[in-house]
Chains A and B, each alone.
Chain A
Amino acid sequence: MEFHPEPYALVPAVLHWAKAMGSFLLIVLSIAMLTSVILHGNKGPKIVISWINSGLRDLLGISFRRVWALAQLTIREAVRRKALMVFVVFSILFMFASWFLQDSTLRPDLQLKNYVSFVFRTITFLVLPVILILACWGLPEDIRLRSLHTVVTKPVRRSEVVLGRMLGFSTVGTIILVVMGFVGYLWVVRQVPTMLQQIDEVVENVRVQSNKTIEGVELKFEGDTLPSGVEAAYSLNNISELRQQSPAAYDLYEKALDLESRRVLACRVPVYATLEYMDREGRTEDEEGKKVGGISVGYVWEHREYIEGATKARGMFTFRNVTPVDRLLLESRFEAFRTHKGRMGQSVLCQYLIVNPETGVQVELPAFEIAEFTQNVVTIDRKLSYYDQEQSKEIEVDLFDNMVFDDDKIRIDVRCLDSGQYLGMAQSDFFIRQPDNPFHISFTKAASGIWMMMVLIIIISVTGSCFVKGPVAILLTSAMVVIGQAFREFMAKLVSGEQRGGGPIESAYRLLTHMNDTSDLPKTTSVGIMKWLDELMVKDILWIVQNIVPDFSHFRMSPYVAEGFDVPWDSSLLPALIVTVAYMIPCLLIGYYSLCLRELESK
C-alpha cells in the first residue's frame, strides 16, 4: 500500500472549501433570485431575502431538546424496523469466516492482514448500505405516510427535522459500528496463534534461547523486535521435516511465529522524512537547476523510484522534529530491481549513512541485505563512530549532539552497494519507528474512519431525501459514494487538463470522427468554439461538480491497521474529520431550504 505521509494542509483546505462553498451559494442564490423575479415580479428579490433571513433565524433558534426527540424517534424507528437484523448476517459471516480465510502457508503477518481487512470490509459493507437505505427512506416515508404532518404542525423547525434525522441515524449507525467493531477486534485477536497474555512468556523463552543455532537456522533475538531468523525459517521447504529432525528447533520456530504475530498486532508509529535523490554522479540538481529524481524502471503502477547500485546515487531522507532518545529504531521496506541474477541465496546489499550537511561528517552504518516484501529493522545507538580518513582514526560522535543540523533535522542516506542492481524507494518506505501503540488504538482509529464515512453518507442521504423520494435518494447517494471513491481522481485530471482527449464536446467529436486522443485537432473556428465551450464546462462547471462530490478516499484507514501501522492524525484522521464537517454545513442548509420551500402535502 502507498501511504501519504504528508500532513494535511488545513488552512489551504479551509480556503478551498470557502471558495467552493461560496461559488455554490452564489449559483444557488442567482437561480433563486431569477426564479423569484419570474414568479413574483418586483417582489422577487425581497422574497428571497426574507427566506434567507427566516433561515438564519431558524438556524439560530435550533433547540437540542427537539432535535434529540426527533433523533430518539429515528432510533426507535430503525430498531423496530429490524435494522439490527444486520447483526445476524454479521454473526453468520464471522462464525464461518475462518474456514475460508485460514491459510497455513501464509506468513502470520499476511494472514493477520487478511483478517484485519476482512473485519473492516465486512463492517463497511454491512453498515454502510443498511444506513444508506435507512437514511434515504426515512424522511420520504414520513412525508408519504404524512407522519411528518403531525411533527411540523408542532413548533418544530425544518432544520430540526433534518438535524434530528441525521443525529438519529448516526446514533443507530454508531451503535451497530461499536458492537461490530468490538466483536471484530476480539475475533482478530483470537485468530492470533497464541493468546496475547501468553506472548510475554514466549518473548522471554526466545530471549533465553536467542543464541542457539539449530539445523542452520539461527534465531537471534534483537531487542524487542522480531528474530532475524524467522525469515530463514520460512525458507525451509518442509516444516514437518524440521519437526521430525529437531523438535527443539521446531518449538523455537513456533514461538518465533507468535512473536511475529505480536509484531503485526502492534501498531507502529512512524516518523516520516522528506525524500530527495542524488544521481549516479553525486549531483542533487541537474543542469537546469532542477532537483534530480530516482530512476523509473518501467513499472507503470510503481510509486517507487530507484537508485543505481555501486554508484554515488543515494536516497536522502531528512527527518524533522527529531527528539533525543537513547536508541533510534529505523524501519524500511525497499524493493530491488535486478539487472542480473546477483549472488546466489543473497539479497541486494544496502547501506545507511548518517550525514550532517553542515559539518560534512558522514557516519556509515553496517551494510545489510534487504529483506524484500517485508521490513528491514535497524537499531542505531546514540553513540556512533566513524573512521576519519584525514586524521586516520576512529572518531566517536553523538547522534543528537553532532549529527543533528538546523536544530532538529537528521539526514539519513540510503545507497545500494551491488553493482548493476537497483534499489527502489518511496517516501513512506523509510521511517523512524517510535514506541508502538497498542493494537486496539489503531483498530479504533480505523473504525472511526468508517464511522466518519458513515456520518457523511447519512448527511448526504438525509439531504437528498429532503427533496427527492427514497429510491432516487438512494441512487443519488450511491452515485456520490461511487464517484467519490473511484472517479474523483479522473475528474481532477479532467479539470486540470491532464486527461487526454479534451472535454466532453471534444471527446464526442473525436469519437464521432474516429480520431484518437493523440491526434491534433484542425485549427478552425468551430474547433476553437468547441474548445472554448469545453474549457467553460470543464473549468467552471466540472470544478463545482468535482467539489460537490466528497473525496471518500480520506476515510480508508483500515490499510494502516492491516499493515501494522498506527493511523496518523494529521494525514488521515484530520482530513476525514474536516471533510465530514465541511459537508455537514452546506447539506444542512440544502436540507432545510428543501423542506421549507416544499409543500409537504403537495400531490
Chain B
Amino acid sequence: MILLAKHTPCLRANEGLFRYRNQVFGAETRDDQSSVRDFGILAIDDRASKDDTSPQKPLFPTSSGFRSYSPVCPNSLIRLRQQASKFESVHNRQRGLERCLLDSQREKERMDNDSSVIQIRNLTKIYRDFWGRKKVEAVKSLSLDVNKGEVFGLLGPNGSGKTTTLKLLLGLLFPTEGELKIFGKPATNVEKNERIGYLPEESYLYRFLNAEETLDFYSRLFKGSSAERQKRIDELIDMVGLKHARRRQLKEYSKGMTRRIGLAQALINNPDLVLLDEPTSGLDPLGTRDMKDLILKLKEEGKTVVMCSHLLADVQDVCDRIAILFQGELKVLGKVDELLQEQEVTQLRTSRLSDAAIEEVQAVLQKHEAELVDVDHPTTNLEDLFLKTVYESKARPGQRYIPEEQASPSAASE
C-alpha cells in the first residue's frame, strides 16, 4: 500500500510529510510507483511482516526519482497501515492520517533521541551570487542519520559537499532547503555547542596566542572552575604532545603542530560529538596514526565522531559507517565492512603452500567450476611498512639500511 500526499518541493521527515500548507491530503492505494512523480509519498513496503524488526524506508521522491530515505519505526508503520485502511471517507482519512502521523512522529522522535545524534533530512545547499542567481548546488537532497557512539565518515572527492555539510551542521551556513538536527536541536541553536567539538580543515586559530592561552581562551567559553580548566589544559597539551611548545605563539608552529593544538581545542569541553574536517591533513605518518588512535579512543569512550576526508585509507581504518558524496549527492551509505566486502570473490589464506598443493587446489576449483583469480602472498600496505620501519628504528638506534644484494643469501655465499 502506498499513502500519497500532494507533492511539496521540500518534504520533511515528520510534520511535512503529509502536510502541505497545513492541509492534510488523503490516502490512496497505488499498485506501482511509476505514477507518483508528482506526489509526496510515504511508501510502505507491504512485504514487511509484523515480525520484521528492520526499519522500513519511507521514500521521498524528487523529480529525478527516489533518492533519499529515512528509517521509520516499523511498529508505527504497521499501525498506520492498519488504521488508514479503516478510513472510509476522504475526510475521515485525513483526520485519521493526521492522528496516526502524530503518533508515528512522537515514536520516531523518541527513537531518534535515543540513538541518533545527527539527523539530516532533504538537505540542500545552493550558493547564489549577489543577484540571487544560482552559482552551484553544493549539497542536493541529502538525508542521513549519525548514531550515537559511531565513527561516521563523509567521503568524496574535492568539491563533493563534505565540508559544506559539516558547516551546515555547525550553523556556519544556512540550508537552502531541508532540516538539520543535532542532539534533537536545530543546527543554529547555540546550546547544542556545549556538547560539540569541531576541528576545522585548516586550524583557524588565533595565531598571536600561544598554546596555553589558546586552550585557556576556548575553555573560558564553557562552564567550569579555574582549577578544572587548568587541569584539562594540561591534559590536552600532554595528549597532543605539545608540552615543549606550550608557550610558543601559534604563528611559530609547523602545520602538524597547528593541527594538534586545533585538535586540543576541539576536545577542550570533552564533547559528546566530535566533528573533524580532514583530521589527518598536514600530519606526518606518526601524527596520522596518533590521530587515528585518538579517534578510536574517542569511540571507546562512547563519543560520536563525524569526520570528512578524501584519504580513504584513514577512513577505512577508523570509520564504522561511511557516506560517499559526489557532486553534492549521496551515492553510498552503509557500514564500511559490508561495503568493502566483495561477495563475488572468495579469498583463501593458508601458511606457505607447496607447488604441488597449489596444483591440487586448482584441480579442486576446476572440478567445482570456479576460476582461480590469483595466487600470491599477502602484502601489507605502504603505511604499515613505513610505521614498522620507524618503530624498529626507534627500538634499535644505529641500525643501518642494508642494500638488497648484500642482504640476499646468494650474494653472501659468493
Point out residues on A near B: beta carbons under 8 Å. Answer: 42, 58, 65-66, 68-69, 72-73, 76-77, 80-81, 145-147, 149-157, 599-603
Contact = CB atoms under 8 A, between A and B. Distances in A.
Nearest to B208: A80
Secondary structure call for the A interface: helix
A146 B204 CA distance: 6
B209 interface: yes
B221 A154 contact: yes
B174 A155 contact: no
Nearest to A69: B220
Interface in B138-192: 167, 170-174, 190-191
Interface in B207-223: 208-209, 213, 217-218, 220-223
B205 interface: yes
B200 A154 contact: no
Contacts, number: 74
A236 to B, nearest CB: 62
B220 A76 contact: no
B172 A599 contact: yes
B217 A73 contact: yes
Given A65-B220, A601-B167, A147 B206 contact: yes
Interface of B: 21, 127, 167, 170-174, 190-191, 193-194, 196, 198, 200, 202, 204-206, 208-209, 213, 217-218, 220-223, 249, 265, 269
A150 B200 contact: yes
Given A42-B21, A601-B167, A154 B222 contact: yes
Nearest to B199: A150
Contacts of B193: 153-156
A225 to B, nearest CB: 56
Given A69-B220, A156-B190, A147 B173 contact: no
Contacts of B190: 58, 155-157
B213 A150 contact: no
A69 B217 contact: yes
A152 to B, nearest CB: 7
Contacts of A154: 193, 218, 221-222, 269
B206 A149 contact: no
A76 B209 contact: yes
A344 B174 CA distance: 85
B173 A150 contact: no
A68 B221 CA distance: 10
Secondary structure call for the B interface: loop
B213 A147 contact: no
Given A69-B221, A146-B202, A150-B265, 5 more contacts: A65-B223, A73-B206, A154-B218, A155-B222, A603-B127
Contact of B172 (A73, A149, A157): A149
A603 B173 CA distance: 10
B252 to A, nearest CB: 13
Nearest to A81: B208
23 contacts: A65-B223, A69-B220, A69-B221, A72-B220, A76-B213, A77-B206, A145-B204, A147-B204, A147-B205, A149-B170, A149-B198, A149-B204, A150-B200, A150-B265, A151-B221, A152-B172, A153-B171, A154-B193, A155-B193, A156-B193, A599-B172, A602-B173, A603-B127
A72 B217 contact: yes
Contacts of A599: 172-174
B221 A600 contact: no
Contacts of A72: 217, 220
Given A150-B205, A157-B190, A601-B167, A66 B213 contact: no
B171 A152 contact: yes
A395 B245 CA distance: 91
A146 B21 contact: no
A66 B221 contact: yes
A502 B236 CA distance: 69
Contacts of A602: 173
Contact of A155 (B191, B202, B204): B191
Contact of B173 (A73, A80, A81, A601): A601
Given A73-B206, A147-B205, A153 B213 contact: no
